[in-house]
Amino acid sequence: MKTGTIKFFNATKGFGFVKVDETDQEIFVHVTGLIDQVREADKVSFEVIEGRKGLNAVNVKKI
């Protein structure tokens, strides 16, 4: 599991980005990958998978 911070999340459109703590990399997150509801600046843990257009954060939950 990786940890990071929700940098941006648009609940209406159902997507956003997580900034990874160790690398400052930004990873796409879709509403289908969420376990908990998230907002900008929430600290989260997540897993990373390869999606059709790049890396996706999944199993995203607040910590």
Strand partners, 19: 5, 26
Enter the pTM of the model.
0.92
Q: Are 18 and 55 in contact (CB under 8 A)?
A: no
Which domain range does residue 49 map to? 2-62
Domain count, the chain: 1
Q: Which helix (H) or strand (E) holds 43?
A: strand 43-51
For 42-57, how does the pLDDT look when each residue is reduced to its tens digit (9 = 90+)?
999 999 999 999 999 9
**Mean residue pLDDT across the chain:** 97
End-to-end CA distance of the chain: 12
| Cα separation, 62 vs 29, whole angstroms | 14
Residue 8, domain CATH = 2.40.50.140
Question: Residue type at 52?
Answer: R
> What pLDDT score was predicted for residue 1?
93
> What pLDDT score was predicted for residue 25?
96
Pick out the chain residues at pLDDT < 50: none
